[in-house]
Amino acid sequence: MRIALAVAMLALALPAYAAGHAVQIKGMKFNPAKLNVAVGDTVTFTNADSKPHTATALDGSFDTGRLAMGKSATVRITASGKHDFRCLVHPSMKGTVAAK
């Protein structure tokens, strides 16, 4: 009983664990193109195409910069809400990160 209480108090004292999400860029598409994350989570974008791509939030909340083939970049989502993103090289490539 005493141990259970100690474990419960320890769990409350620890900060929420930030999760990592992965998006692959292939065939001129983000996969997945829609993600649900928690504020504080990270998203790693990896470019598996031969063309360069970016993942750039329209609200400026994150930007991978230009990713060459095989390169990846990790961004942290620090604001809640829907963050639509595009590839700046190919504006038809779209995605959304929904954070809460």
Which one, 35 or 45, has the nearer CB to Cu ion?
Answer: 45
CA distance 92 to 81: 22
Q: Does 66 bind Cu ion (CB under 5 A)?
A: no
* Helix or strand holding residue 34 (H, E): strand 34-37
Do 62 and 79 touch, CB atoms closer than 8 A?
no
Q: Does 86 bind Cu ion (CB under 5 A)?
A: no
Alpha helices in 1-100 (DSSP H): 2-13
Q: Least distance in Å: CB of 43 to Cu ion?
A: 16
Which one, 54 or 83, has the nearer CB to Cu ion?
Answer: 54
Q: Does 21 bind Cu ion (CB under 5 A)?
A: no
CA angle 67, 49, 54 (to 5 degrees): 30
Q: Does 87 bind Cu ion (CB under 5 A)?
A: yes
Tell me which of 23, 37, 53, 99 binds Cu ion, using CB under 5 A. 53
- Residues found near Cu ion in the complex (CB under 5 A): 53, 87, 89-90, 93
